[in-house]
Structure 1
Amino acid sequence: MRRWMMLALGTAAQTVACTFLYGLPYTSEALRRDNGLSLGQVGLLVACPTAGLLLTLIVWGALADRFGERAVITSGLAMTAVLLCLAATVNGLVPLGVLLALAGAASASVSAASGRLVIGWFSARERGLAMGIRQTSTPLGMGVAALTVPTLAAHDGVGGTVLFCAALCGVVAVLVGSLATDPPRTARSAGQEPAANPYRHSALWRIHASSALLCVPQFATNAFAMVFLIDVRGWSAVHAGRLLVLSQVLGAVSRVLAGRWSDRVGSRVRPMRQLSVCIALVMGATALGALRPSPLTDLAMVLACGITASTNGLAFTATAELAGSAWSGRAMGVQNTGQNLAASLTPPLLGGLIASAGYARGFMLAGALAVAACFVIPSVRIPAAPKPTAAPKPTSPPSPAAPPAPERDSRTD
């Protein structure tokens, strides 16, 4: 039961961090009203937390490797809560931007350490499912933000909204600090060599690169699904939003099912490669639907929004297993950084292409990058979980697996 408690805590921590990060755009009108800012200045403020997060993910990962997950998540969420409380008391572009950037930097602790906490408590036979569940924290956080932040911003302004996010972070920080337990680590005996750097081989770099490529179709659909349905299919904003709620549910379910699939076949990269092909096909169908609109266009877009999210948990699980317990925090920090960079660059760059060449070409490019990811994904052998010889103790998690060696395959190196 303890491992499921750790999963719940890790998922809750990531969910409240996502509520803050993805909820801030819903305060745009309140930012303009309360602070007298232009739309460009509002956009700059909304980007500040992501900028802070990107700059500190690897640092937080290294701290998790050194001091453990519980301390990193608790301190990071506590700092986020304090900084958001301070942000609620200030006005103006510069002071608010600085505090939001610092809060984003503090919240990066959760992205860097919560996945490591989950991985360490589950065996190789369950990690895919566990990380798939943990990855649902992104749509969960977006859902909480969509349900609460617009109303709070309208009635209580920006200050009330950030205080709400601060309260969420503070409550979960207390829960993690009081209930979480770091997974056990293998003690290094005197004179033993430190763990080898997993980045000496190409497999981990290729996981990072392929995952970043697969972020493009994911955020192409997330960023442009609403306007696509309005422009191409003539939906109202309200009805398009309701349809896209279904796509978020499908995205969450696809992450869990993909993780379970990877556990059953004993591989993270094989399902990841096969899902990349599916993503390319669905993006191609969406591009075709843009050229010849029909009710099938709506179905293609909903499926695209769902399936493009399916590989996230697989990539993070593969990263942790390839890096090994001594390096997994830093490796997952690098993984998060690459994904967030791709997510940040996709909307403006792809938006420019769509504005000049149309939705079809934009979605075709996203599908082509999914095809490219198929060839970048390495072939690696993940060690099978050892068969238990005795009834496991309820409080003892499995030891983290050592990093697997790449297979000798024409698709690697």
Structure 2
Amino acid sequence: MQPARARTFGPRHRWTILGIGIASQAAFSAAFQGIPTTSTAMRSAYHLTNGSLGIVLAAISLGIAVSEIAWGIWTDRFGERRILLTGLITTGIVLGVMALAVVPTASGVPAIGMLAGGLLLVGALGGSVNGSSGRAVMAWFKDGQRGLAMSLRQTAIPAGGAIGSALLPWLAVGFGFRAVYGILALFCFAAAVATHRWMHSPEEPAAAPGAAAAAADTSQVSPLKDRNVWRLALASGLLTIPQFAILTFIGVFLHDAHHAALAVGASAVVIVQVGGAAARVASGRWTDKHAGSRRPYVRAVGLAATVALAAAAALTHGPTWAVVAALVVSGILANAWHGVAYTEIAHMAGAQRAGTALGLENTTVFAAGFLAPLMVPVLAGASWSLVWIVCAVATLLAVPLAPGRK
């Protein structure tokens, strides 16, 4: 039934597909980036220590990291529509169950294992959104348009994170965590409704926008056996370390090292998110116009981020405005490359195997997202300068690791 129905959708439907990808990604991003912004309220409501809070907040990224390759393989096998629907609905169900049963009440506080386990499931199930929505975009857009399209989809991550960051702390303080999990469940169910209604495959591979390019770049070898795919995925993981370090700990750093007000750190995060989203779109558009530029672009961003992070390390105890500026630039650069790298790794694998490649990419990215919040407190115990130095080393190592121009 599905192929016959899909034939009623023409090339312009690709913008609807992109919109669904953005909405789905934003709904999940509001959860995995928004929940950590409730950290102060969560620590108090669930009676957590700083150490146990770190474990709980890292659980989402861990769930994403361990499930991404499997979701990517299943997307290539069963199709993006089925996997996207499965992920959105099951994530919404888990969040709904948490809203009912994993919230502090007058009669008691849930065990940390229940909270961490619930968030681990949210990450493991919601991670399906990343590869499935990306594969859908790859199927509907031709290669000269994919950089912009994938970058627009990737902007949903900071955009959804910004929505979650603005909404969830207010809900947690004013209405409790039942409202936090409940609204996130509604986001997932709303995206699932849109997916069910409008997510369809192109008419035929030979006639769909981008299908000719897809046929040309599809390899018979699994992306998991491609050395260059692994190089780009591992480089992406290294480039992600400063992104998570800055977004998660810039407020703590500014408070501890500069005695800055909470508003300073919050403003810096907003600027990084907005600037990073704009940089993703601009970089996707630019690389679309310059054939063969995606790999060199990723390397160039790595070098630029290294310089900015080295400046942040040198300015750790300098004027507050100067170190904030250096970290904001570093954070924007750490966001800028995502859409380009995701487009390139999917292109390297071919549209029919893009789900697997994107799953690998997301595995390394979210593994870094899991490790960074655990690493930063240890390094900061010695010196905040050491935190930014280690981040700079990570981005520098990514430069030669990323594959060069074909």
Distance 1:37 1:5, change over 3 A: same
Name 1:190's counterpart in structure 2: none
Candidates 12, 21, 24, aligned match of 2:32: 21
**CA shift digits 1:128-152 (9 cap, x unpaired):** 1111111111111211111111121
Partners of 2:376 and 2:282 in 1: CA distance: 29
Partners of 2:83 and 2:140 in 1: CA distance: 17
Candidates 269, 282, 303, aligned match of 2:329: 303
Distance 1:122 1:362, change over 3 A: same
Quick check: 1:69 aligned with 2:80?
A: yes
Name 1:368's counterpart in structure 2: 393
Check conservation: 1:117, 1:183, Cα contact below 8 A: no
The residue type equivalent to 1:245 in the other structure is V
Name 1:402's counterpart in structure 2: none
Name 1:158's counterpart in structure 2: 177
Check conservation: 2:58, 2:373, Cα contact below 8 A: no
Determine helix, strand or coil for the equivalent of 2:316.
helix
Check conservation: 2:98, 2:181, Cα contact below 8 A: yes
Check conservation: 1:70, 1:180, Cα contact below 8 A: yes
Q: Which consecutive unaligned segments of at least 5 residues does structure 2 have?
A: 1-11, 103-109, 207-217
Name 2:95's counterpart in structure 1: 84
Name 1:258's counterpart in structure 2: 283
Partners of 1:374 and 1:265 in 2: CA distance: 20
After the TM superposition, which of the residue ranges 48-57 and 330-339 deviates more from structure 2?
A: 48-57
For residue 173 of structure 1, report the CA deviation from its aligned partner.
0.3
Q: Which has the higher helix share?
A: 2
Partners of 1:299 and 1:42 in 2: CA distance: 29
Distance 1:337 1:262, change over 3 A: same
Q: Which consecutive unaligned segments of at least 5 residues does structure 1 have?
A: 188-192, 382-413
Determine helix, strand or coil for the equivalent of 1:292.
coil
Name 2:153's counterpart in structure 1: 134
Percentage of matched positions with identical amino acids: 31
Name 1:241's counterpart in structure 2: 266
Check conservation: 1:316, 1:335, Cα contact below 8 A: yes
Name 1:389's counterpart in structure 2: none
Distance 1:298 1:85, change over 3 A: closer
Q: How many residues align?
A: 375
Partners of 1:369 and 1:155 in 2: CA distance: 40
Distance 1:37 1:234, change over 3 A: closer
Distance 1:295 1:52, change over 3 A: closer
Candidates 217, 224, 229, aligned match of 1:204: 229
Distance 1:3 1:83, change over 3 A: same
Check conservation: 2:88, 2:192, Cα contact below 8 A: yes
Quick check: 1:271 aligned with 2:297?
A: yes
Partners of 2:332 and 2:42 in 1: CA distance: 31
Check conservation: 1:27, 1:158, Cα contact below 8 A: no
Name 1:333's counterpart in structure 2: 359
Name 2:211's counterpart in structure 1: none
Candidates 10, 21, 25, aligned match of 2:21: 10
Determine helix, strand or coil for the equivalent of 2:127.
helix
For residue 263 of structure 1, report the CA deviation from its aligned partner.
1.0
After the TM superposition, which of the residue ranges 29-38 and 276-285 deviates more from structure 2?
A: 29-38
For residue 277 of structure 1, report the CA deviation from its aligned partner.
1.2
TM-score by length of 2: 0.86
**CA shift digits 1:211-231 (9 cap, x unpaired):** 111112222322332233334
Check conservation: 1:61, 1:112, Cα contact below 8 A: yes
For residue 14 of structure 1, report the CA deviation from its aligned partner.
0.6
The residue type equivalent to 1:77 in the other structure is L
The residue type equivalent to 1:22 in the other structure is Q
Check conservation: 1:88, 1:162, Cα contact below 8 A: yes
**CA shift digits 1:260-312 (9 cap, x unpaired):** 12112112101111111111111112122225336333321221111111111
Distance 1:183 1:376, change over 3 A: farther
State how 1:370-409 maps to structure 2 within 5 Å: 370-381=395-406
After the TM superposition, which of the residue ranges 40-49 and 136-145 deviates more from structure 2?
A: 40-49
For residue 380 of structure 1, report the CA deviation from its aligned partner.
4.4
